Amino acid sequence: MSSPEETKPTPLVRLTELPVGASGRVQELEGKTEVCQRLREMGFCESAVVEKVSGAHTLLCQVCGTRIALSDRAAQHILVEQIRRSA
């Protein structure tokens, strides 16, 4: 983690808003229980690190060592804290 946490907590962004190539740590899942559970089971659980590989409409992410495609409606449920800028 690069930014000093105690001084200024990094704002949470939706996974859809994370720039392509950047990584984020999942902080919160919001929305319907079923969707959240599905997301968690696929690896998007709290504190998991997600790298957004590509995508505008359908996202391509690297999480838990797997590549996962998810539609933006699903990605909106995921709130992340950006931890790495795009390379």
Partner 1 sequence: MSADTRSPASPRTPVYAFVGNPNCGKSTLFNALTGLKQKVGNYPGVTVEKKIGETYSQHGHPIKIIDLPGAYSLAARSPDEAVLRDVLLGRRADTPQPDRIVCILDASNLERNLYLVHQILDLGRPVILALNMMDLAAKSGLEIRVARLEKELGIPIIPCEAANGKGIVELRLAMSRSDLPLAKHAWEIPAPIAPAVSELAASLQENDGKAPFSARAEALLLLTDQDTVRVTGSKPLHPRTSAIFHNWQKRWAGEGTDWAGSLVSSRYDAITELCSRIVVRKANVGPSVSDRIDQVVTHPVWGWTSLAGIMALLFLSIFTLAELPMNFIDGRMAALADWVKSVMQAGDFRDLITDSAIAGVGGVLVFLPQILILFFFMGLLESTGYMARAAFIMDRMMSRVGLNGRSFIPLLSSYACAIPGIMATRTIEDQKDRLTTILVAPLMSCSARLPVYLLMMAALVPGERVPLLTKVSIMLLMYSLGTLGAFGFAWLFKRTLLKGEPPLMIMELPPYRLPRVRDIAFHMIERAWMFLKNAGTVILALSIVLWFLAAYPKAHDGATTTQQLEQSFAGKAGHTLEPVIKPLGFDWQIGIGLISSLAAREVFVSTMGIVFNAEGSDENTAPLRESMLKAKWPDGRPLFTPLVCLTLMIFYVFAMQCMSTLVVVKRETNSWRWPLFQIAYMTGTAWVVCFIVYQTGHALGF
Specify the DSSP class assigned to residue 76.
Answer: T
54 binds partner 1 (CB under 8 A): yes
57 binds partner 1 (CB under 8 A): yes
Q: How far is CA 54 from the centre of its chain?
A: 13
**DSSP secondary structure of 9-24:** PPPEEEGGGSPTT-EE
49 binds partner 1 (CB under 8 A): no
Q: How far is the CB of 79 from partner 1 (least distance, A)?
A: 14
47: left (phi over 0), alpha (psi -120 to 50) or beta: left
64 binds partner 1 (CB under 8 A): yes
Which residues of the chain form contacts with partner 1 (CB under 8 A)? Answer: 29, 33-43, 45-48, 53-54, 57-58, 60, 64-71, 73-74
